[in-house]
Structure 1
Amino acid sequence: MNGEEPRDDPIRVVVCDDQALVRAGFVTILSLQPGMEVVGEAGDGRTGVAVARRVRPDVVVMDVRMPVLDGIEATRLLAGPGVADPVKVLAVTTFNLDEHVYDALRAGAGGFLLKDATPAELVAGVRTVAAGESLLSPAVTRRLIGRFGSRIRAADPAAPGEGNPLAVLSEREREVLTLIADGLSNGEIAAALVISHETVKTYVSRILTKLDLRDRVQAVIFAFRTGLVTVHD
């Protein structure tokens, strides 16, 4: 979850991509980074799941489109709902906001990168996901929700008979969750509410804890699922 303490041990990574050149490039880039170690690789989703379950990495860099078992299903098996000890997944794709990216986020991925990202962006992405934070920029969040927001509501209706799932949040926490769902960064939320960046981080952490959510991606989906915000807000 957000706000994890800095770590001294290396970040252990598994790279899963069916394109050998891409996979080799990712492995080389990540292996050269201080505080980072590639502990496995795979050319299809099924092998990737097996490797990840065996070596228990901190992050799996997961291609979305692969043979045998695609990255979406592989992500669901490693990080999806009901997984007792989920592995953090960074999804990568060739196509920006491809529908499969939405599915990967729903399946439990902590964020995504495009395959044409720079080496620095790849490294930063792995570090971000390893730290328990979401790699989903505010601009991408707005576009993602704009395209798939109605589908989020249709796919995840609030379960009847459970009461209001937002009741556990304070008024301020609901306000922060609304701004998260609108794609604002912590800095933007701080400016909008005239509070400190650290205070925003505290609110975000409380929201995730109270709602039993893993990251901001799940928080965005929750906000739309419960009707706190809508596509047309």
Structure 2
Amino acid sequence: MRAWPVLPALLGQRLWFPDPRLADAEGLVAIGGDFSPQRLLLAYRSGIFPWTDNPITWWSPDPRAIFEFDRVHIPRSLRRLLRKNPFTITRDRAFRQVMEGCAQPAPGREESWVTPAFIMAYTRLHELGHAHSVEVWQNGELVGGVYGVAIGGFFAGESMFHRVRDASKVALIHLLQHLRERGFVLFDTQMATPVTRLLGAVEIPREEYLRRLADALRKDCRF
């Protein structure tokens, strides 16, 4: 009889991940390893993402939250704001600053999961061309943004922040529109939140997500 591996798996120096379908009920797949670019990219290609750094934990929840590019919902108030165009939008101009903005705890929270270790690791991914950001500026100041990881036709949205009302939503809408224009086919938002649900995020079974991920990875899209 075949012996199934004990999960969560304990990772060492060897570069591997277990099958995400074997995650526990909360979606935890593995513990340990490192934040090297090679391991991070393998994680995303495998349908897995990191969530903490002490220890490093790796997750693949079921269901999985995504945005369908043709079903993004823009509330009426946000449409009015977009028509007024009070912001300047840029891409990949201030990646680390966006991550530092995301690292500031949201109101009502004592800390953010975006720690210095995450900032260092994903800034390295950005320097290698795999991680990207959208920045929202007002009067020359960074007031919002979003960042994530792009591989093929797949984008994993990691985190966003705002210092002016709705600036993070503007960043996310711009990102979704940009990715659709570039031919991306899967936007992973990992787990739905009230904000992402408002903008149209939906949940799909992990098995469907993994099939769509495999299709997206075969595409050759450029951010």
Q: Give the TM-score of the pair, scaled to structure 1.
A: 0.30
Higher helix share: 1
Q: Which has the higher strand share?
A: 2
Larger RCO (CA within 8 A; separation ≥ 6): 2
